[in-house]
Amino acid sequence: MQISSDSNIVTDLDAIHALLRAENEHILLYDTGAIARHENGYHATDHFILDTYNLTSVVFMTETIYNELNMDDKFNLRYQIYLDKFDSIAVIAEEDFFSFFSSVITNQHKAFSLMVHAAKKAFQLLPSLKQRIEQCKDYTDLHRSYNQYFIGSREKNKGEFSLLFLSNLLLLAYPNKKHRFISIDKDVYDIVDNCYLRQSAIREQIAENVKRDVSIFSTDTLLSSDILEKRIDDTNYSTLFQHFRQPERKVMYKVYERSILTEGIKSDSFSNDEFLNKVRKKDIQVIY
């Protein structure tokens, strides 16, 4: 990574710890698909869709996510201009995860044991990788197994799984932070849901006597908040939806029935007008 000294991107591990010790309430784990969609919308409309989170948040990326954005390429200045809207963006290389984590959990044996637990939790949908990790003797071995798995398999979501692994480590090191995944990919929802949000994951939290505040937001989730909080002028919805929304994308939502939110999650595509009307009338609550 070749990062300018005047950039808001932070790679020094001590500086990242300082950001986490500061009064930042949220950790935003931002994947490449959402960044690309939001960057395009920002340049077309000048609307910063995460503005309400910027003052209370630090954006986190792994080196895999950073490299997927190809940020070092001079032709990708659009990404740099958009990401400059954030106060701080922490980028951690996967090979540095143990150095980062063990500066908080200083007992090396305990730190590695916790990292294995975090990795197994993050990669539970990848059973062969999880099995390899169970055999690892140190982090060098774990990192090698992680890289070899994604090189040798057809799994395309390395960036998203790297964010999930990082999230699990951050929750162990800084358990009071609120984690917000930002994505537009259904695969990412399934990965995060399986790890944190399903009943089995919640039961595990209860058994471990821990409470994790983790959510995942899509562009439609963020736009629905803007609608309900009236942060957008009525005359601007058409332009914003044109550049931010994908009407063909299925929205995950719950239905209000006589002002009572029903339990089942539904999934349907909505035109821009349908989406605006259903959210504004509180017919639905957008989940993702």
Whether 265 has a pLDDT exceeding 70, the answer reads yes
Token pair 């950001």 is found at 19
- Residue 222 — pLDDT band, cuts 50, 70, 90? very high
Range name among 72-76, 147-151, 247-251 with the lowest pLDDT average? 72-76
CA distances from 80 to 39, 73, 201 (A): 9, 10, 36
Whole-angstrom distance, CA of residue 219 vs CA of residue 239: 15
Q: What pLDDT, on the 0 to 100 scale, is given for residue 43?
A: 94
Whole-angstrom distance, CA of residue 108 vs CA of residue 246: 47
Q: What pLDDT, on the 0 to 100 scale, is given for residue 82?
A: 92
| Averaged pLDDT, 258-266 | 88
Structure tokens at 14: 């001590």
pTM here is 0.90
DSSP category for residue 48: -
Q: Which range scores top for mean pLDDT: 2-16, 146-160, 238-252?
A: 238-252
18 CB neighbour count, 10 Å cutoff:
12
Whether 234 has a pLDDT exceeding 90, the answer reads no
Greatest alpha-carbon pair distance for the chain in Å reads 59
Structure tokens at 180: 């917000």
Q: What pLDDT, on the 0 to 100 scale, is given for residue 197?
A: 83
Whether 38 has a pLDDT exceeding 90, the answer reads yes
- Residue 140 — pLDDT band, cuts 50, 70, 90? very high
- Residue 80 — pLDDT band, cuts 50, 70, 90? confident
The SS3 assignment for 253 reads strand
Q: What pLDDT, on the 0 to 100 scale, is given for residue 263?
A: 84
User: In what helix (H) or strand (E) does residue 160 lie, and over which residues does it extend?
Assistant: helix 158-173
235: region left, alpha or beta (phi > 0 left; psi from -120 to 50 alpha): alpha
Whether 138 has a pLDDT exceeding 70, the answer reads yes
Q: 29 or 79: which carries more pLDDT confidence?
A: 29
- Residue 6 — pLDDT band, cuts 50, 70, 90? low
Contact 80, 71 (CB under 8 A): yes
Q: 205 or 101: which carries more pLDDT confidence?
A: 101
